[in-house]
Amino acid sequence: MPEVIILGTLALDTIETPFGKQNDILGGSAAFAAYAASFFAKPGIISIVGKDFPAPHKRALEQRGIDLSGVKVEGKTFRWEGFYEFDMNEAKTLKTELNSLAEFVPEIPEPFRDAGYIFLANTDPEIQLGVLEKMKAPGTVILDTMNFWIQHKREALLKVMKKASIVLLNDGEARQMFATPNLVKAAKEVLALGPYAAIIKKGEHGALLFTKDSHFNAPGYPLEEIKDPTGCGDTFGGALIGWLAKAKSRSQETIRKAMIYASVLASFNAEDFSLERLKKLTHKDIESRYQEFVRMRNF
C-alpha cells in the first residue's frame, strides 16, 4: 500500500539544452516527483499514459517500487517539447501535445485512498480537487501548480489551495497569483487561505519557507555542471512529501530538513537529462550532499 500518493503527469519529453538534445525521454511531474519520493517512502502515482508509453520507462518507475496501479492507459501519451538557452533558468516550450491527458478522469485504486501524504503535482486544479476529495485521510497535502492554471483557473486553484497543507509556488507564480512583487506578502496571502506553510521556489537561488511564526531560507546548491533542469521543481516536491511521510511530523524542524533533502534531490536531478542522474543516486550520495548543505550555511 503506497504511503505517498502523487497526482501528476507522465510524459514523453523532447528537450534541447546547450549540452545536448534528447528525444522521447521519460518526463512529467509525476515521474520526477514519485522517483524522488521513492528514496524516502513508497509512492503511488495517479496519472494517465498512452498505449505508446515505452516499457523501459514503466520499468524504470516500477524498479523503484512505485505503484502504477493508478495509471490509466488510453490513446497516446502526453508529449512536451522544449529547449533551454544558455542561462538554463527558464524552459521555452516548442510544442505541447496533451493527447490522452486532455480527457483524463482519474481513477483512484482503493488501497490509495487511505494514504495520508498527497502531492498534487502540477496539473489541472479541478482534477487536483477531484482527487483530493476522494482521499479518506489526507493529513499532509502538498500542492504545486503553474502560471497557466493561475491565469485560466484561478478560482479552482484557490479552492485547492484552501485544502492544502503546504503550497509550492515559484517566485514568478507567487507574484502573479497575488498581484504583488513582494514574496513575503504573497506568502502571507497563501497562509491566510489556510495552509500551514508556503514555500517559494527560486530555482538556483534556493527556496523560502514561510509559516505563521517564522521564515526559513533554504540555499540553492551551486552546481558546476547543469545538463537539464527539467523536473527539478517536481523532484523537490516529491522528495519533500517523501521525507515528510518518512518523518511523520510537521514540526518546523522537520519541514526545514525536508526542504534541504528536497533541494539535494533537485540539485542532483539537474545534472543529467530525464531521471538519468536519479537512477544512479545512492543514499550515500544524498547524505554527502546534505552535509555539504550543512557546511555551506554555517556561520
Q: Which stretch binds a second copy (CB under 8 A): 27-35, 81-89, 116-124, 157-165?
A: 81-89
Q: Which of 88, 101, 131, 160 touches a second copy by CB under 8 A?
A: 88
Nearer to a second copy, 96 or 254 (CB): 254
Q: Cα(34)–Cα(205) distance, rounded to whole angstroms?
A: 24
Site pattern 226..245 for a second copy (x: CB under 8 A): x-------------------
Closest to a second copy by CB, 102 or 296: 296
Distance CA 17, CA 226 (A): 10
Which member of 93, 251, 282, 298 binds a second copy (CB under 8 A)? Answer: 298
> In the numeric block, which cell numbers belong to residue 89?
533558468
Q: Does residue 185 touch a second copy according to CB under 8 A?
A: yes
Q: Any contact of residue 256 with a second copy (CB under 8 A)?
A: yes
To a second copy, the closest distance from the beta carbon of 260 in angstroms equals: 6
Residue 51 touches a second copy, criterion: CB under 8 A: no
Q: Using CB under 8 A, which of 92, 212, 214, 251 touches a second copy?
A: 214
CB 16 within 8 A of CB 128: no
Among 259, 262, 266, 270, binds a second copy (CB under 8 A): 259
Q: Does 181 bind a second copy (CB under 8 A)?
A: yes
> Site residues for a second copy, window 26-45 (CB under 8 A)?
none
Number of residues binding to a second copy, judged by CB under 8 A: 34
SS (H, E, C) the chain: CCCEEEECCCEEEEEEECCEEEEEEEECHHHHHHHHHCCCCCEEEEEEECCCCCHHHHHHHHCCCCEEEEEEECCCCCEEEEEECCCCCCEEEEEEECHHHHHCCCCCCHHHHHCCEEEECCCCHHHHHHHHHHCCCCCEEEECCCHHHHHHCHHHHHHHHHHCCEEEEEHHHHHHHHCCCCHHHHHHHHHHHCCCEEEEECHHHCEEEECCCCEEEECCCCCCCCCCCCCHHHHHHHHHHHHHHHHCCCCHHHHHHHHHHHHHHHHHHCCCCCCHHHHHCCHHHHHHHHHHHHHCCCC
Least distance CB 155 / a second copy (angstroms): 25
Residue placing its CB nearer to a second copy in the complex, 90 or 133: 90
Cβ-based nearer residue to a second copy, 101 or 259: 259
* 219 sits near a second copy (criterion: CB under 8 A): yes
Non-local CB neighbours of 254 within 8 Å, separated by 6+ positions = 244, 247
Contact 137, 159 (CB under 8 A): no
**183 touches a second copy (CB under 8 A):** yes
User: Can residue 264 be called a binding residue for a second copy (CB under 8 A)?
Assistant: no
297 near a second copy, judged by CB under 8 A: yes
Instruction: By CB under 8 A, name the one of 51, 215, 248, 279 that touches a second copy.
Output: 215
Q: By C-beta, is 19 or 102 nearer to a second copy? A: 19
Q: Which positions touch a second copy (CB under 8 A)?
A: 86-88, 181-185, 202, 205-206, 208, 214-220, 222-224, 226, 253, 256-257, 259-260, 294-299
